Structure 1
């Protein structure tokens, strides 16, 4: 699998998943109070999970040399803001072509925790070992928060992209 399919195509598809879950959440009786819901006191609320899911593709683009500026949006305070974050991130991804991505063995250096942790790895390792796991973690936390708060979603809502591969029994 190439770096584009691993990253850009995956982000684009899963942003649609988040968008669909949030559309259901918008109709939930708890309304926008869901944005402050969290799984436990020491975890981030739904609004931050949305922020992370929408920031990670932009962070990845910058670290892979596809963008010059930081991609850091604030957590949404409404479902309309959440939709806007998803749309902005999707638009940014639409501007990236397969040819734009670096070689899988290009070096990526980055720090997290205000420089407390420094890393160097290949572009492929960065996408596989850091970017995608973090992206899926925060998408999963958004799903878990919504489920915990009574939203009627299930695995089919988390992996709707699989319907493209569905084969009816013969």
Structure 2
């Protein structure tokens, strides 16, 4: 039996948002929160806080754009690890309400993604999931991991993979 869009996305996002929470716990324990929240790999990159917000948004928008759920508004105002943790917790709680049935038959249904320059790119549910949503989520999760490493937080591959969850 083939996997559904729900099965390949929502449980994956929930688990990896839990990984993100654990990564932030290690960042907070390092005592480097002030440096980390504004950390960037390079000057033109958006900061650590944006990377966490975007990982959450990527997961949330899968449920909204493909599953057809109402978009819970989350303002991008987080400035502390505690606020970022609350955002992740809210995102997980939202994803836990998603029913597998909301993804049924959505593989070929058109999903519009809005880019920063305002151009809307039509994708179907399958394309959106595999070509945008999942890669975008893991890009931002990887950036969080890289920024933690850059600032000297002791995290490794097993932390990124969620060993022990």
- TM > 0.5: yes
Q: Contact conserved, 2:33 with 2:80, CA < 8 A, in 1?
A: no
Work out which of the two has the higher radius of gyration on C-alpha atoms and give 1 or 2: 1
Greater CA drift, 129-138 or 75-84: 75-84
How far apart are the structure 1 equivalents of 2:59 and 2:75?
12
Alignment of 1:99-138 (within 5 A): 99-103=101-105, 104-115=107-118, 117-138=119-140
How far apart are 1:102 and its partner, in Å? 3.8
Q: Any gaps of 5 or more consecutive residues in structure 2? A: none
How far apart are the structure 2 equivalents of 1:148 and 1:52?
19
Alignment of 1:7-46 (within 5 A): 7-46=9-48
Q: How many residue pairs align between the two structures?
A: 162
Question: What secondary structure does 2:91 align onto?
Answer: helix
Question: What secondary structure does 1:38 align onto?
Answer: coil
Alignment of 1:1-170 (within 5 A): 1-69=3-71, 71-103=73-105, 104-115=107-118, 117-160=119-162
Greater CA drift, 132-141 or 23-32: 23-32
TM-score by length of 1: 0.87
Q: Any gaps of 5 or more consecutive residues in structure 1? A: 165-170
